[in-house]
Amino acid sequence: MIVPVRLKTIISMFFKHRLDLLLDRERMPKRFKFVFLFTKLFKNPSKNRAIRIRECLEELGPIFIKFGQLLSTRPDLIPNDIAKELVLLQDSVPPFCAKEFKKILETSLESTVEQTFQSYETEPMASASIAQVHAAKLKNGKDIVIKVVRPGIEKVIRKDLQVLYSIAKFIEKFGEDTKRLHPVEVVKEYENTIMGELDLRAEGANASVLKSNFENSDLLYIPKIYWEYSSKNVLVMDKIVGIPVTDVKKLAAVNTNFKLLAERGVEIFFTQVLRHNFFHADMHPGNIFVDASDPKSPTYIGIDCAIIGSLSDEDQYYIARNLLAIFQRDYQLVAELHVQSGWVPKDTSILALTSAVRTVCEPIFQRPLNEISLGHILIDLFATARDFKMEVQPALVLLQKTLLNIEGLGRQLYPELDLWQTAKPFLEKWLKERYSPKNILKKVTRNAPDMLEKIATMPAKIDDILESIEKNQPSKNIRTKSQVSFDSARSGVRWFYLIFGFGIGIIVCYALISMNYL
C-alpha cells in the first residue's frame, strides 16, 4: 500500500515539471482523464523533457536520485537525450549526526571507538544517499576511512521502491513508447542494485578481488579493506591520497604524462574485462583518482566497488571477436558472430543483418580514428541488433557503460587518444593467448577432477543402456538383423572405450604433470 503523503508529493512534482506531457493521453482510461483538465492551469514548459525529468528526480530526494543514476546507465532502454541528462544527477545529501554515526560504529565493533581507533573525525568527508564516510586513524597511526550505512535507510528504500513499482506499472500501460522503456524491468534492476549496496561486505569483497587482480601493478590501486573492523553496515579501508581525475589543472601542474594516463585507462578496462573477467562497472570520474607521485608513470586509484560486471565465457569471446571484426570492417563476420553467440535468433538473415551493421558502422569510419567511440559503436550495434530480436543482457549493458566512461575520461585527459591503436593489439594478443597450449592445458587441469568423476561412471551408464536394448532383442538362437546390429554396437562400444580411454589418459597425464603430481 503506497503511503498517501509520499504519493501526493510525487504527483505534485510530476505535474510541476510537466511530466504529464510524456504520457499518451489517448491510451489513458477515462477515470484518469479528468486529472489532465487541471494541467491547463500550468504553463507550457520552457525546458526539454530530459532536464525536466532530472530536476523532478532531484527534488524527490536521494532514493529517486539514485534511481535516476541507474537510468543514466541504460541507454539501451531509455532515449539517449534522457540518459545523457541523468548523468548530471549528484548523489549528495545532508549528513546524519556524529552521535548516530558513533553509535552504529560501536555496535558493529562491539567496542568503543576510543578503544579501537587512535582518532576519528566527527565531520564526514562525504555524505551520500546510502552511506556516510569519515576519516580516522588506526592505533598504529595508519590513515583510514570508515563507511557507515545510513540509519533507517532500508525502510525508506522499501517504501520508495513500492512507489516506483506502482509508477512503473502505470507507465507501462499508458505511457508512450513503453515497449522500449520496460519500466518495471528497470525498477527491478534498481531494486537488486540498491539492496545490494546496503550490505557493505559485498563492496568490500569486490574491492579485495580487484586489489588482488592488480597486485604489484602500475595500472590501478584499490584501497585495502580491514575486515577485522568491517561488517554488513560498516566498511573500514585505507585512506587514499590522490588527485581527482577531473582536476586536469592540478595534474598538469605536476607534469603528469596525460598520454600514458589515458592509454592506461583503456588497458585497465580490457584487462579487467578479458583477462580477469571482473570489472569495476561504476567508473565515473567521482570514483577515480590519480597517484601522480611519479608523474611520468601515473597510477589510477579506484574507489566505491559496489557495482561489478562479469561476462560469461562465451560473451567474453564474442565481444573480443566482434570488436576485432569491427576494426577490420568485416561486417559479415560481425553478423555471423551475433548469430553464433545466440544474441539474435538462429534463423536471422545474415545478409540482412550484415547490411544493417554496415549502415551503422561505415559512416563512423569516415571520421578520424581519434574521434571514433567504441562505446557508441556498441550502443548503435546493439540498437540495430534489437531490430533483429536481440535481447541485451545486463552484463553487456554494464560493459558498454563502462567503456563509454573510460573513453570519455581518456579523451578528456588526452584529446588525441587513439583508442583503436591501444585496443586492437590487446584484443589480438588476448585471442592468441586464449588458445595457446598453456591456456588449454590450464583449462584441462581445472576441469580434470570433474572429467575423471564422469569417466568413472560412464562404463556403468553405457552397460545399462546396452542391457536395456538387449532386453528388447529376440531369442539368442535366432540371429536376426537387429541382433547382428546389436552385436556390432557392442563391439563398437568396446573400441570406443579403448580410444576414449587412451585420449583421456593423455589428458589426465598432462593435468597431473601440470599439477606436479608426476
Rounded Cα–Cα distance for residues 375 and 362 (Å) = 16
- The pLDDT tens digits for 123-145 are 999 888 889 999 999 999 999 99
- The pLDDT tens digits for 206-234 are 999 999 999 989 999 999 999 999 999 99
Give yes or no: residues 172 and 41 share one domain. Answer: yes
Residue 223 lies in a domain: no
Residue 203 lies in a domain: no
Give yes or no: residues 313 and 249 share one domain. Answer: yes
Res 203: pLDDT: 94
Residue type at 126 in one-letter notation? A
Among the candidates 435, 450, 469, a domain finishes at 435
Instruction: Considering the candidates 20, 24, 81, 282, report the single residue annotated as catalytic.
Output: 282
| Chain centre distance of CA 395 | 5
- The pLDDT tens digits for 438-453 are 666 666 666 666 666 6
Give the DSSP H or E segment for 290: strand 288-291
Give yes or no: residues 422 and 462 share one domain. Answer: no
Distances (CA, A) of 146 to 209, 358, 468: 20, 51, 66
Its pTM stands at 0.74
The confidence band for 194, taking pLDDT boundaries of 50, 70 and 90, is confident
Give yes or no: residues 57 and 161 share one domain. Answer: yes
The confidence band for 417, taking pLDDT boundaries of 50, 70 and 90, is confident
Give yes or no: residues 456 and 496 share one domain. Answer: yes
Residue 141 lies in a domain: no
The total domain count for the chain is: 3
Give yes or no: residues 404 and 456 share one domain. Answer: no
Residue 470 lies in a domain: yes
Give yes or no: residues 253 and 361 share one domain. Answer: yes
The confidence band for 518, taking pLDDT boundaries of 50, 70 and 90, is very low
Phi and psi at residue 475, in whole multiples of 5°? -55, 145
Residue 59 lies in a domain: yes
- Determine which of 1-5, 27-31, 47-51, 340-344 has the lowest per-residue pLDDT on average: 1-5
Residue 207 lies in a domain: no
Look up the domain containing 472 and give its range: 440-514
Residue 206 lies in a domain: no
Phi and psi at residue 460, in whole multiples of 5°? -65, -40
Give yes or no: residues 9 and 78 share one domain. Answer: yes
Q: Is the pLDDT of residue 268 over 70?
A: yes
Distances (CA, A) of 171 to 27, 164, 167, 419: 11, 10, 6, 40
Among the candidates 142, 175, 197, a domain finishes at 197
Rounded Cα–Cα distance for residues 510 and 518 (Å) = 9
Selection from 293-302, 429-438, 468-477 with the highest mean pLDDT: 293-302
Give yes or no: residues 426 and 412 share one domain. Answer: yes
Give yes or no: residues 186 and 323 share one domain. Answer: no
Q: Return all residues near 278 (Cβ < 8 A) that are at least 6 apart.
A: 209, 210, 213, 272, 308, 309, 310
516 phi-psi bin (left φ>0, alpha ψ -120 to 50, beta other)? left
Give yes or no: residues 420 and 489 share one domain. Answer: no
Mean pLDDT of the 481-504 span:
53
Residue 117 lies in a domain: no
Give yes or no: residues 253 and 382 share one domain. Answer: yes
Is 218 a residue of the active site? no
Among the candidates 169, 197, 225, a domain finishes at 197
Res 517: pLDDT: 44
- The pLDDT tens digits for 50-106 are 999 998 888 887 778 878 877 776 665 677 788 888 877 766 678 889 899 999 999
